[in-house]
Amino acid sequence: MGLRIATKKDLKTVTDLYKLTIKDGYFKFPSVNMNRHISRKQAVVFEHDKKIIGCFIWQINKILNPITMKRGKNTTAWLEQIMVLPEYQGRGIGCDMMKKYLSIKVTEFRLVCNESLIGYYEQYGFEVVDTIISDKKQKVIMSRTA
């Protein structure tokens, strides 16, 4: 039981998990996106009795310096998705995955979420820094320094 880096063999399971849990996500082709994150080793799964019950994926962006137009040392880890099978939600699995995500060595953490999840991410020190319209819905961008 616990967390491990996802492999290609997990692609179908994590794509199905995505389709089941993310109702208004922005991945039109979830398997393509999952495949990309798995190839880059930017996908972690949570296993229980050899069954995948949770997953999170992220992406690293190096921040562009607007003066020099060079990418500096400051890096952001965007939390692209975090999900837990509905029947396992509320048992701390999301918390374990958030702690793992927040251990990535970057200078900033960022994510986009529905307004209904602001409280969830505030528990981990995130604060709203902007709003965007995505899929015709208002969403928020939240940030936390490392």
Ligand X SMILES: CC(C)(COP(=O)(O)OP(=O)(O)OC[C@H]1O[C@@H](n2cnc3c(N)ncnc32)[C@H](O)[C@@H]1OP(=O)(O)O)[C@@H](O)C(=O)NCCC(=O)NCCS
d(CA 74, CA 106): 7
The CB-of-28 to ligand X minimum distance in angstroms stands at 16
d(CA 123, CA 33): 28
Residue 3 makes contact with ligand X by CB under 6 A: no
Query: Which stretch, 68-76, 86-94, 102-110, 128-136, contacts ligand X (CB under 6 A)?
Result: 86-94
The CB-of-20 to ligand X minimum distance in angstroms stands at 9
* Strands of 137-145's sheet in order across: 2-5, 43-48, 51-64, 71-84, 108-114, 137-145, 127-134
Is 11 or 142 the residue whose CB approaches ligand X more closely?
Answer: 142
Is 117 or 141 the residue whose CB approaches ligand X more closely?
Answer: 117
Minimal CB distance residue for ligand X? 94
Is 69 or 93 the residue whose CB approaches ligand X more closely?
Answer: 93
By CB under 6 A, the count of residues binding ligand X is 18
Ramachandran category for residue 136: left, alpha or beta (phi over 0 → left; psi -120 to 50 → alpha) = left
The CB-of-23 to ligand X minimum distance in angstroms stands at 8
Q: Which long-range contacts (CB under 8 A, 24 or more apart) does 37-43 make?
A: 37/6, 37/80, 38/6, 38/7, 38/8, 38/10, 38/11, 38/14, 39/8, 41/5, 43/5, 43/6, 43/10, 43/14
Of 83, 106, 140, 142, the one binding ligand X by CB under 6 A: 83
Residue 82 makes contact with ligand X by CB under 6 A: yes
Q: What residue ranges bind ligand X (CB under 6 A)?
A: 21-22, 81-84, 89-95, 113, 116-117, 119-120
